[in-house]
Amino acid sequence: MSLFVRRSLALSLMLFLVLYLSPPLYAEELTIAFLPRGLGNPIFLDAFEAAQKKAFELGVRLEWVAPFDFDGDVQIEIIESLIDRDVDGIIASVNDEEAVSEVIGKALDAGIAVATFDADCPGSGRLFHIGINNYAAGVEIGKALVDVIKARGLQEEQLDTMIMTGYREALNLEERIRGFLEATDGEINLNIQAILENEDTVEKSIILLEDYVRVNPEVEVIFFVGGWPFYVPGEALPNFQKWAQGGGIAVGIDLFYDALLLQKEGLIQYLIGQDMATMGSLGLELLVNYLRFGEVPPEFVETGLEHANEDNLDRLLQIHKPWLVK
């Protein structure tokens, strides 16, 4: 084979690889902004990574913007700044539905396509929502708790219970609580002593949890509506660790590596997880297809639930990898 032929083949191969590995080219690059509820909550990392990868594949500019800790006023300010910049699309996780609904309406009036992920804002006119059925997730974790209680022979006992949530204004979290309470009603006897709001922050959730079980060691059940305090080892939660080792029962929604380690240690009896990666990648793809091709997605795109119990815990620990962020 001549040198000329070899060079031609090499150049052809290089051109093929460039075209194959490069994202498709479009006349106008789209700018899509993703707004998690807060940058300080690692639960959104999977959504960010998946959305970033999908943005490269689709040839769009992705902006990941949010306050560090959730602040409804700051989220509104960010959306208003995106309106001023005339971005093409926004995908937001909304904690305060009433407060954010109006500014989403402004974005829609400005011709910006808006969708929601994780936490919905259905009254805003948004294009679609992608996430779990939060009511169903609450029902499933409630059923799991019933099984745990019955396995311990405590179904006839009145069990003092604490619920930890982020904000009572958050529709997704309230739906989880509603499902949980309906699933347990008539099956076990939960005496709700407190519903603590951690303002959707990891640090405050840990402080609230540690203080509550220290002052109220007699509480028997804790339902974590989200996984806020699960990002640290058991040794960093000494009061909760002591409470759990003394027979306390905890269940929660959100499933990731650190939470599974706490479950392995016996501090949590059951977890249900949500697929944040699909919310990021598929949510972005649906919005881009709407903007580029006019493909109207379903109003609600449901992502599945993942269960963690004694039977599959070791397998899940092999699947879920630790985040390199603390």
Query: pLDDT digits over 154-179, tens only?
Result: 999 999 999 999 999 888 999 999 99
Checking if the pLDDT of 2 tops 70, the result is: no
Kindly state the average pLDDT of the residues 276-282. 97
Angle CA(115)–CA(116)–CA(120) in degrees, nearest 5? 135
d(CA 22, CA 58): 10
E strand segments, 206-304: 221-224, 249-253, 270-274, 300-302
Query: How many C-beta atoms lie closer than 10 Å to residue 221's C-beta?
Result: 24
Whole-structure pTM over 0.85, yes or no? yes
Checking if the pLDDT of 256 tops 90, the result is: yes
Torsion (CA) 265, 321, 206, 308 in degrees, nearest 10? -50
- Beta strands 305-308 and 270-274 are antiparallel
**All domains of the chain, ordered by start, with CATH?**
3-132+276-295 (3.40.50.2300), 134-274+308-319 (3.40.50.2300)
Q: What pLDDT band is residue 324 in, cutting at 50, 70 and 90?
A: low
- Beta strands 158-165 and 31-35 are unpaired
d(CA 88, CA 270): 41
Angle CA(298)–CA(43)–CA(142) in degrees, nearest 5? 75
Checking if the pLDDT of 21 tops 60, the result is: no
Q: What pLDDT is recorded for position 12?
A: 40
